[in-house]
Structures are given as structure tokens and as C-alpha cells.
Amino acid sequence: MFTLLEQSDAANVPALQQAVNAALSYLPANEQMKLVSDRMNKSVNKHLYYTALANSGSQKAMEMITKAYNTETGANKNAAFDALTNWKSFNSIYPMLDIARNSKNKNELSKVTDAIVATINKSNETGAIKYLYLREVMQFAQTEKQKNDILRLLGNTGQYQAMLFVAPYMDNVALSENAALAAMNIATNNPAFAGVVTTGILQKVSKTLKNPDAGYQRESIKKYLDENPQDGGFVSIFNGKNLDGWKGLVENPIKRAKMTPKELAAAQVKADAAAKTGWVIENGELLFTGKGDNLCTNKQYGDFEMLVDWKLYPGPEPDAGIYLRGTPQVQIWDTARVNVGAQVGSGGLYNNQQNPSKPLKVADQKVGEWNTFRIKMIGERVSVWLNDELVTDNVVLENYWNRSQPIFPTEQIELQAHGSKVAYRDIFIKEIERPEPFQLPADEKKEGFRVLFDGTNLNEWTGNKKDYVVESGNIVLYPSQNFGGNLYTKEQFDNFIFRFEFMLTPGANNGLGIRAPLEGDAAYGGMELQILDNDAPVYKNLQIYQYHGSVYGVIPAKRGYLKPVGEWNYQEVIADGDRIKVILNGTTILDGNIREASKNGTIDKRDHPGLLNKTGHIGFLGHGSLVKFRNIRIKPLK
């Protein structure tokens, strides 16, 4: 068939190329490559074999064809172009974009645009990846049909930035309908995008729509606006024109706090001047030229969600990052730099030592292409999505500047300058309102109580801080493969009054460990007071010592005083020597002496070696159920 291919007239070449590819498909890619490469090296008609190279789908084949396009002329160049634009792999987008970026031939641009759009459309890439490349290829579209095709696909990406990108096309009569539909689809499928900007876009969509279903679509828009907030939402913190809202970096948060106002002002003037030389605006993008220091927001942020597109440029060591609350950093780098460990990918909390620092997966696009981050920071915890892939999952960001202290409650956001050229665009922040910290009532403060959890952080706690998270002022246990795990006070307590509130979910099972060690089973190494939805059908055969409030295996508690699942319960535990008392929602459900109760053996006939411990940690003992806790305080007893 190779011989026939070389001897045939032009009319039969496509059919023979298909026959060659069909035969080659029975072989592994590396054998295909060897067979075709050997034949090409002996042939003066190399262009006849580009489709066979492409059939292997290998990166090496793509590199050979791309090189041929860039170096050959005539039939060889045309054949290489055809092979690239008919490639089946998503990776063909990269050389096709390079062709588009360097071409001034309208026919060539049109064909490349069609090929890229078709490749994106049939790919299984994330919505974020599709958005990034559809946005890129829009500038090369030559016809209204191509632009409308791109707008329709953008409407299926689910990206906030895509919604903003398509909105201006509503002003173009030939594109307005598809632009309006795309913006509407993105917005109405994402309540998290609700706010001032989205409201304005949807109001314009309602006025723009003219298709036969426009009436139903307006009803859908109205429903969305009625059910979601029309104020707040994401706010742009980079206007694409200048550095308004940004400033140069002055030292770190700890050093800045020690400066006098006069010292800080003088240092800021100097830093701002330097920032204007290192950071420039090009084509609406914020570009770091490779010289200078970090660029910082004027405003300080607490809890927030952030969207930002970024691109590393090729160079000696592409490297960047985003500081959260003035602290390094969500990492950005070139995965090819294996000598520094960059193969793990971007999006990890690079400077963490105790908590995870590496991303969960590699989700980067190649250097020179755009990527997009969604970063969410609540309290001390950070989640990062890179190109729609979760790469950092609710990880505590450590205070790099003083590791003995938690992360700062509020601070500036910084774009890191690392000696490498990097661009940012479409930077948006949505601030997340924090609950007010829990304050002790005046009478408890006077009695000597102190707060162990105020709704903002777990600084007083140790243990499983991955599954126990701070959310909306509560400690919430989202059990994972650790089956819930345990969360303990850092401090040990002997005699005390412990007050807290808890909310159960159906069938929930947890426990309150007291005078417990950090290792082992707290129910036996210390003692466990049951926290349990004991009215759930799954617990119909409980032993008397397993009901809520019982000292597990030792002293049973009274039943019938839990509030319905989903409501908050208030509980007080008094541990005074051998006497344990539990008050639930104002009723004493347990009042007993653990020494007396166990002198002839425990009810469960088990060994409880830690039952009479004098002191130990207090902990929540997870058993695979979602449970919430709040307003936790303690009063040590003498």
C-alpha cells in the first residue's frame, strides 16, 4: 500500500491513505511510528505520509507534522496543515493556535478556527478548559457563523468569566441572540454567580431575546432573579486599564504591623513607584515583566471566593503564585521543571509544612496558554480549583511568617513576582460574610468560663482538622475515609463544666470524649459520653448504656430529651472528680459516680482502663456521621 500510495494519481491518494491508516490501526502507536518514519525517510513525497503519522495519535507524530508545517513549503506544508486540522486529539489545539497566531491568510484562519471549534466541541475537557480556548479562538473567527458557534459553546461552559465575555456580543445584531442565550444559560444554571453584575446582564438578556421561546426564557430569568440576591456577588478588582486598587509590596504583614504610620507611608510610596515599572497593562491584561516585587490589593480581605485567569510565559524558570491574606501561596509553575518538583502541578499551598502542600492532581495547561483558578478561603482553610479540577481541598493555610500563629484574619491579596514573566486577567472577588464570633454571656464570663470555639477557627483544637471544618460559625464534621476521626482540645482538663450546642442529622453518631488521651479509643482510654440520634430506626436494638448522654458502657442516661433532628440541642457536662453529670436542654439526664458504677465491673463487661483518669483531653469522637457543634466554652473546677 505504501508503494501504491507513491505511484497513484492524486485522485486516489485519499482512499489509499485511509487504507494505510486502517492497516496501521492494528499496530501499537510506537510500531506505527517506526514503520511510517522508516518509509518517509526513503521517500521524496513525505507529505503523503502525514495522515499516517497522525493516525498514531502520538505526541512525537504531532511534533514531526508541526515541524513540517513550519519548515516545509508547497505540498509538504499543505499536507502538514491538513493533518493537523484533522487531528483527533485535543493536543492538536496547541499547534493550530500557533498557526492562527502567526497567520494572515483568511482562508487558513477560517479553516483553523473550524478545526479548533470542532475539536473543543467533541472533547471531554472541563468547562473551564473549553472556555479558555473558545475565548482564544474567537479573535481568529472569520465569519458570523463561526462566532455564533463559539458563543453557543461558551454558553455550555458554566464559567463566570465566559458569561462576562459573551455579554458585549449582545450589541452585535448578527450575534446578539446567541450571546444572550449563552449568558442566560451560564447565569441561570449557577446561583453562586448571582449579584449586581449578573442581574444587569440578565436584564439585558431579557430585552435582547427574540426567539420563539423568549417568553419562557424571560420567565426563567425572572424566577432566577426572584430566588437569588441581586446585590453583592463578584466584584472586579482589576479594571484592565491601570493599577487602580493595587499597590506595591511593603515587607510582610508582621513587619508592616510594627511600622509607624509615617514609616509605612514612606515605604509605600517607594514600593508603588517600583510596582509601576514591574507591572504593566497590555491588551487589558496585567503583566509582570519579570523585574520587581509583588503587587498587592489596597483592600484587605477576610473570607472570600476569587476567580482569576493566569498565564506563564516561556522562560528560564516560569514561576508565580497568589498570596492569600498576605501569606504565600497558591503555587503557579511550569510542570516541566522537574528539578524543583514542579511536576506535581499548580494550585497547591506550596509553603505548608504540617498540612498538605501539593495539589491533588496535575491540571495545568502548557506554558504559554491561559489557565483559570477558583480559590475559596473560609477561616484558615483554602480550596483551589484549577481549570475546574479540585486540586486543594479545604486545607489549612499555615502562617509562613510565624508558624506558631494561625493565618491572619484579614490581609491583602498579592500577585507574586518571581523573576518570570506572567500575566493575569479577569480578577474577581466575592467577599463572604463571616458570622460574629461567639461571645460569652456576662454571667458566664463572671463565673470564669472561657471560649474553646468562637465560630471562627480551631486554634484551641488538634486532631482531625480535615474532616472537622469551620463553616458558618459551626464546627461541622464531614466524615471521609477517616470515618470521621476525632477532634480534641489541645489542652488537658481534669474537673470542669463544659457547655456546647450540637445538631444531629438522621442516624447521626458521635461522642464527647473526656479525660481522654490523644491516641487509642477514647471510650476506653478515657470515657465517652454518647452523642446519638438514638430514636433512628437503625438504633432500635441499643443497649441501655448506648443512648445519648450515657457514659458509654458504664452509666445509662435518661431518654426522651433530644430535640428533633435538625434542631440545635444545648448540653452541659459537669465532671467533678468521680461524679459525672449531663444536662440536656435543661433536663438532667445523667448524674452518677463512675467509681461506684464500675466497682463490680462495668455494664458492658468491658475493660475501661482510662475510666478513672484524673485528667485528659476533651474531644468530639466521629463515627461516620455529619454533626454540627457551636458555642463551646469551659469552666475549670478546682
Residue 562 carries which DSSP code?
P
Looking up cell 506572567 gives 422
Q: State the Cα angle at 80 between 79 and 81, rounded to 5°.
A: 90
The predicted pLDDT at position 70 comes to 86
Model pTM score: 0.84
Where does 257-315 show beta strands of DSSP type E? Answer: 279-282, 285-288, 295-301, 304-312
Coil/strand/helix, residue 341: coil
Could you report how far apart the first and last alpha carbons of the chain are, in Å?
95
Cβ atoms within 10 Å, residue 277? 11
Q: Which residues of the chain have pLDDT under 70?
A: 481-484
Q: Domains of the chain (ranges plus CATH)?
A: 2-229 (1.25.10), 246-431 (2.60.120.560), 442-636 (2.60.120.560)
Tens digit of pLDDT for each residue in 579-617?
Answer: 999 999 999 999 999 999 999 999 999 999 999 999 999
Cβ atoms within 10 Å, residue 101? 12
Which residues pair with residue 313 across a beta bridge?
none
Q: What is the C-alpha separation between 533 and 561, in angstroms, rounded?
A: 11
Backbone φ, ψ for residue 104 (5° rounding): -120, 5
The alpha-carbon radius of gyration of the chain (Å, integer) is: 32
Show the cell assigned to 558.
435518661
Show the cell assigned to 574.
459537669
Residue 512 carries which DSSP code?
E
The predicted pLDDT at position 480 comes to 75
Which residues pair with residue 450 across a beta bridge?
634
Q: What are the residues whose beta carbons fall under 8 Å from the beta carbon of 537, sequence distance 6 or more?
A: none
% the chain with pLDDT above 70? 99
Closest listed residue to residue 253, CA positions, set 399, 354, 375: 399
Show the cell assigned to 275.
510596582
Alpha helices in 228-284 (DSSP H): 253-258, 261-278
Contact predicate 76/45, CB 8 Å: no
Burial of residue 564 (number of CB atoms within 10 Å: 0-12, 13-18, 19+): exposed
Q: Which helix (H) or strand (E) holds 572?
A: strand 568-576
Q: What is the C-alpha separation between 571 and 579, in angstroms, rounded?
A: 17
